[in-house]
Amino acid sequence: MTVLLQKRNPWFETVAEAQRRARRRLPGSVYGALVAGSERGRTVSDNQQAFAELGFAPRVVGHHAQRELSTTVLGVDCAMPVVISPTGVQAVHPDGEVAVARAAANRGIPMGLSSFASKPVEEVVEANGNTFFQMYWSGSREQMVQRMARAREAGAKALIATLDWSFSNGRDWGSPPIPERLDLRTAVRFAPDVLPHPRWLWAFAKDRRLPDLTVPNLAPERGAAGPTFFGAYGEWMQTPPPSWEDVKWLREEWGGPFLLKGVTRIDDARRAVDAGVDAVSVSNHGGNNLDTTPATIRVLPGIAEAVGDQIEVLLDGGVRRGGDVAKAVALGARAVLIGRAYLWGLAANGQAGVENVLDILRGGLDSAVLGLGHSSVHELGPEDLYVPEGFARRLGADG
């Protein structure tokens, strides 16, 4: 008897399936780093649960045969209101951020690149000309000026300043140990975790490279050696936290489109406007900052109402479906940033997997715009949703 073995279809139909495949493919320590959140993970859970509490109010007649999903973010055209959120060292695939950038470019989506990324900004901008470079307040002013100059010279279209990171180390679940560098001793220690995942190991082995745990974008120039992840973390810990005057300085020093990421309070959003930012991202760092911070979709409406007529307001946190994108836009977001969703796609099937995730989000968004009776994503509004009593959280409303 001949048994025909069919190769697994690389296409997946949901982000949840991408996550399941990523979990099977990745070593437990790598997968754990993707899903972990600070302390008990309440904020991670609330970021997703809050979207489920919102309901749609669909129309039965008057649908439009064609829907317009495109928009702009910081002056950059977007095929839909989605931006790749910057994430740190990516060990899920050997092509890392370059694969993500190519996928995003193929789908007309801007690429957010972390200063803690595993690939240099020059390579990523070559792969996606609409790259936004992200920086922490880390190091001296001279070092920050140097890093901004390098990103500007590479062709980055905007700067994302992330200031909400406190790197809580009291994680009760999921967070694995991260080695400072990969050497023979580290390889032996992690072998029991890695060897049961030969497909992930082979992806790196065939290119004769190991996951890179250095951060090249903190080097003074392309090709120079960057610090390790923990070396970069140490630099951040030793840098005095910024003031609003520092934010204003950073914005003026960059000189181009500027997004402040990490806002959850209305008073902070107003101060950001005063500092001259062009946009804010309503973000709790994906649940990796202070646990029990409310879901970003809960605090979005108050911030959008307070400053949405003056600057662009984006949302980051918990987006897993195209319907989530529609809900965020309906409550005042210009666009959303996605993080874990595309990393699962990258782990599941490389660049094609990221494109797969973006196609899923686009399909879900288009269905929502259709069902709600609109011809454009720009027509979405609060009247398209059922928002349960007590859903929203207004932080810093009296500031």
**Could you tell me the sign of the dihedral formed by the alpha carbons of 247, 250, 253, 257, in that order?**
negative
Number of H helices, E strands in the chain: 14, 12
Contacts of 377 (CB under 8 A, 6+ apart): 67, 68, 69, 70, 71, 80, 81, 326, 329, 365, 369
Please report how the helices 244-254 and 266-274 are oriented relative to each other, as an axis angle in degrees rounded to 10: 50
> Measuring CA to CA, which residue among 11, 82, 53, 73 is closest to residue 341?
82
Residue with tokens 């911030």: 303
Q: What residues are labeled active site? A: 285
DSSP H helical segments within 130-243, as ranges?
A: 141-154, 184-194, 198-205, 229-237
Question: What CA–CA distance (Å, rounded) separates 262 from 239?
Answer: 18
Question: Is 157 in contact with 256 (CB distance < 8 Å)?
Answer: yes
Strand partners, 133: 113, 159
Tokens of 258: 């500027």
> Measuring CA to CA, which residue among 95, 88, 147 is closest to residue 124?
95
Q: Identify each DSSP E strand in 163-296 by its residue range.
A: 258-263, 279-283
Side-chain half-sphere CA neighbours of 75 within 13 A: 10
Classified as helix, coil or strand, 105 is helix
Question: What CA–CA distance (Å, rounded) separates 108 from 82?
Answer: 10
